[in-house]
């Protein structure tokens, strides 16, 4: 059976989702989960884009073992050097360089002739090959490029040292038959194609990213590039969980397998959704809340009699069940064991903090599920918490709040409700002019005593910060979320002299 490599680009292409801006510690946490998920390659970022991005790639390359770590670089000397430097500490590394090859992009974006583009690509691949023994080259906008130009360039970059050729459907324009046709054409016409790996990178503008990726697998690619929950620019990328589960469920048809540990799929989806603040729609395939829920009486009756009547996959296979694990009487040991089972090794210090949070949660909830624990664990990871509230009183009926901070008390009333009153009070106490641009509240676990999560986007000056807060009380969650965003802005003042006022 053929093995298809999973090239995971949530931290690079996925992070280009509008409004998503992950903190380096959050990226590291996602990368660790991707390693547990068992992907083959993690594209950790685009180091030349920003200092913080380079730091994040460096951190992942140093700390995450297992998958190969890739960094993106334009076909430019500086980009490639920075990518090489960021990857220095990785066990296994790959430089991924690219240039646009379509007439539209070459003419209007690059303002270069095909000959110039070819030279830049060859120079970039040769340089990258001096630093690493694994170089991926992407023909940006391949599906709107001239096929014979791709063939010509492919032969030259193979000679220059490329080990992986990636065919991106950058703008999500291809159809499955056409995309498979392009792959077959390259396999047939590129000299030396069998000495390199072929890869597909599909976007979902027409809702065809997964279909195109699977057509490419059938046509013979060795690697697919995907993101968790299909996040990414515009309509996003091919969704990891859909491609992987299609290959698993229809192994009979594709005759291909991946190294993904299926039981980690649900948790990975949840973690990425949590960090990015991008919720998974309920009807999303594989990881949506309704993906395994049967509503119609006929279906329910069928599934009860024999699961396979209406279910083609077993939800347990992707770890989709919320286990009931710990309760009021669970001790520190049980908590540590459970955290280990979930894949987290925490310091004594951190365990103390989590245990305190866990205990106060058991006062509000009878049972604490895996998801509750993950929420406790991930909450406030790597974030500065310089600002905290000493006292908050909320009089729900009249939407009046009083907040004490640094010895000052602020009482605010708002006709727009208690959340607005709360945020106004905080602004006034801190003397900041923060504007709430987006506010959402979600139930992240089940039942009446579920944990609520607030996700806010707050504007300071010309920057937007995302904040999250988790509590069984939604107003408290709203407060934590706002404080979380403010703390990020305040830490930028300290680190970069940026003034949020
Ligand atoms: Mn892309």
Distance (Å) from CA 262 to ligand 1 centroid: 24
> How many angstroms separate the CA atoms of 5 and 221, rounded?
9
pLDDT of residue 222: 98
pLDDT of residue 2: 96
> How many angstroms separate the CA atoms of 40 and 488, rounded?
33
Distance (Å) from CA 300 to ligand 1 centroid: 40
Residue numbers of the domain that contains 339: 332-377
Query: What confidence tens digit (pLDDT) does each residue in 63-76 have?
Result: 999 999 999 999 99
> How many angstroms separate the CA atoms of 486 and 465, rounded?
8
Measuring CA to CA, which residue among 379, 498, 474, 373 is closest to residue 422?
Answer: 474
Q: Are residues 342 and 484 in the same domain?
A: no
CATH number of the domain residue 435 falls in: 3.30.160.270
Q: Are residues 96 and 19 in the same domain?
A: yes
Helix (H) / strand (E) element for 8: namely: strand 5-8
Residue 281 lies in a domain: no
Helix (H) / strand (E) element for 164: namely: strand 164-169
Q: Are residues 341 and 480 in the same domain?
A: no
In this model, does residue 183 exceed pLDDT 80? Answer: yes
Residue 221 lies in a domain: yes
pTM listed for this prediction: 0.80
CA-based end-to-end distance of the chain: 60
Q: Are residues 392 and 373 in the same domain?
A: no
DSSP 388: -
Residue 282 lies in a domain: no
Q: Are residues 407 and 346 in the same domain?
A: no
Q: Are residues 352 and 473 in the same domain?
A: no
Q: Encoding tokens for residue 355?
A: 């245990």
- Bridge partner residues of 202 (DSSP): 169
Average pLDDT over residues 93-122: 97
* 415 contacts 398 by C-beta, under 8 angstroms: no
Residue 174 lies in a domain: yes
Distance (Å) from CA 173 to ligand 1 centroid: 12
> How many angstroms separate the CA atoms of 79 and 97, rounded?
9
In degrees, to the nearest 5, what angle opens at C-alpha 29 toward C-alphas 22 and 249?
A: 100
Count the residues in the chain. Answer: 501
Question: Looking at per-residue confidence, does 469 or 170 come out higher?
Answer: 170
> How many angstroms separate the CA atoms of 187 and 178, rounded?
14
Distance (Å) from CA 237 to ligand 1 centroid: 7
Query: What confidence tens digit (pLDDT) does each residue in 349-394 have?
Result: 888 888 888 887 787 776 777 767 777 776 543 344 555 666 677 6
Phi, psi of 248 (to 5 degrees): -75, -50
Distance (Å) from CA 232 to ligand 1 centroid: 7
pLDDT of residue 310: 84
Distance (Å) from CA 257 to ligand 1 centroid: 23
> How many angstroms separate the CA atoms of 275 and 267, rounded?
12
> How many angstroms separate the CA atoms of 273 and 200, rounded?
24
Q: Are residues 11 and 62 in the same domain?
A: yes
The burial class, CB within 10 Å (0-12 / 13-18 / 19+), for 133 is exposed
Specify the number of domains making up the chain: 3
Q: Encoding tokens for residue 275?
A: 């960090």
In this model, does residue 210 exceed pLDDT 50? Answer: yes
Residue 210 lies in a domain: yes
The burial class, CB within 10 Å (0-12 / 13-18 / 19+), for 315 is middle
Residue 288 lies in a domain: no
Map residue 22 onto helix, strand or coil.
Answer: coil
Query: What confidence tens digit (pLDDT) does each residue in 388-398 have?
Result: 666 677 666 66
Please state whether beta strands 5-8 and 324-327 pair in parallel, antiparallel, or not at all (unpaired). Answer: unpaired
Residue 249 lies in a domain: yes
Average pLDDT over residues 322-340: 75
Distance (Å) from CA 14 to ligand 1 centroid: 8
* 61 contacts 27 by C-beta, under 8 angstroms: no
Q: Are residues 36 and 146 in the same domain?
A: yes
Q: Are residues 146 and 268 in the same domain?
A: yes
Q: Are residues 392 and 341 in the same domain?
A: no
Distance (Å) from CA 201 to ligand 1 centroid: 7
Distance (Å) from CA 321 to ligand 1 centroid: 32
DSSP 328: T
> How many angstroms separate the CA atoms of 213 and 217, rounded?
6
3-class secondary structure for 338-361? HHHHCCCCCCHHHHHHHHHHHHHH
Of 276, 300, 322, the residue at which a domain comes to its end is: 276
Is the backbone of residue 240 left (phi > 0), alpha (psi -120 to 50) or beta? alpha
Of 276, 307, 323, the residue at which a domain comes to its end is: 276
Q: Mean pLDDT in the chain? A: 88
Q: Encoding tokens for residue 150?
A: 């791709």
The burial class, CB within 10 Å (0-12 / 13-18 / 19+), for 97 is buried
Distance (Å) from CA 347 to ligand 1 centroid: 37
Residue 297 lies in a domain: no
List, in order, residues 6 or more apart from 455 with CB less than 8 Å away. 277, 438, 439, 440, 441, 442, 466, 467, 468, 481
* Rounded CA Rg of the chain: 25
Q: Are residues 398 and 356 in the same domain?
A: no
CATH number of the domain residue 78 falls in: 3.20.20.70
Average pLDDT over residues 276-285: 89
Q: Are residues 397 and 339 in the same domain?
A: no
> How many angstroms separate the CA atoms of 340 and 347, rounded?
12
Of 351, 377, 403, the residue at which a domain comes to its end is: 377
Distance (Å) from CA 259 to ligand 1 centroid: 22
């Amino acid at each position: 059976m053929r093995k298809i490599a999973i090239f995971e680009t949530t931290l690079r292409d996925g992070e280009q989702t509008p409004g998503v801006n992950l903190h380096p510690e959050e990226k590291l946490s996602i990368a660790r989960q991707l390693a547990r998920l068992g992907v083959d390659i993690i594209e950790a970022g685009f180091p030349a884009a920003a200092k913080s991005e380079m730091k994040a790639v460096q951190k992942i390359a140093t700390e995450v073992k297992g998958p190969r770590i890739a960094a993106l670089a334009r076909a430019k000397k500086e980009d490639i050097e920075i990518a090489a430097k960021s990857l220095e500490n990785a066990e296994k590394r790959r430089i991924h360089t690219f240039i646009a090859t379509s007439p539209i992009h070459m003419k209007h974006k690059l303002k270069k002739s095909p000959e110039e583009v070819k030279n830049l690509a060859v120079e970039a691949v040769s340089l990258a090959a001096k630093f690493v023994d694994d170089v991926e080259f992407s023909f940006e906008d391949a599906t709107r490029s001239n096929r014979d130009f791709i063939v010509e360039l492919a032969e030259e970059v193979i000679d220059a040292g490329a080990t992986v050729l990636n065919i991106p459907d950058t703008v999500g324009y291809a159809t499955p038959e056409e995309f498979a046709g392009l792959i077959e054409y390259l396999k047939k016409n590129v000299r030396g194609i069998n000495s390199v790996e072929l890869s597909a990178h599909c976007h979902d503008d027409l809702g065809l990213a997964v279909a195109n990726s699977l057509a490419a697998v059938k046509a013979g690619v060795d690697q697919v590039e995907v993101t968790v929950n299909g996040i990414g620019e515009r309509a996003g990328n091919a969704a990891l969980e859909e491609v992987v589960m299609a290959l698993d469920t229809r192994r009979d048809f594709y005759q291909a397998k991946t190294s993904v540990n299926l039981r980690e799929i649900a948790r990975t989806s949840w973690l990425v959704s949590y960090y990015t603040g991008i919720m998974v729609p309920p009807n999303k395939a594989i990881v949506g809340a309704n993906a395994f829920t049967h509503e119609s009486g006929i279906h329910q009756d069928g599934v009860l009699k024999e699961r396979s009547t209406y279910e083609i996959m077993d939800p347990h296979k992707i770890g989709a069940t919320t286990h009931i694990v710990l309760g009021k009487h669970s001790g520190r040991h049980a908590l540590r064991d459970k955290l280990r089972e979930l894949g987290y090794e925490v310091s004594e210090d951190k365990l103390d903090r989590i245990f305190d949070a866990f205990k106060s949660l058991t006062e509000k909830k009878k049972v604490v599920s895996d998801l509750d624990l993950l929420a406790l664990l991930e909450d406030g990871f790597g974030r500065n918490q310089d600002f905290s509230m000493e006292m908050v009183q909320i009089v729900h009926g009249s939407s009046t709040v009083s907040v004490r901070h640094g010895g000052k008390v602020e009482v605010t009333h708002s006709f727009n409700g208690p959340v607005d009153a709360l945020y106004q009070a905080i602004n006034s106490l801190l003397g900041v002019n923060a504007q709430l641009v987006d506010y959402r509240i979600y139930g992240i676990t089940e039942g009446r005593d579920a944990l609520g999560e607030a996700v806010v986007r707050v504007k300071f000056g010309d920057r937007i910060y995302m904040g999250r807060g988790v509590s069984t009380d939604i107003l408290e969650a709203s407060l934590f979320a706002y404080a979380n965003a403010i703390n990020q802005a305040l830490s930028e003042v300290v680190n970069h002299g940026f003034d949020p006022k």
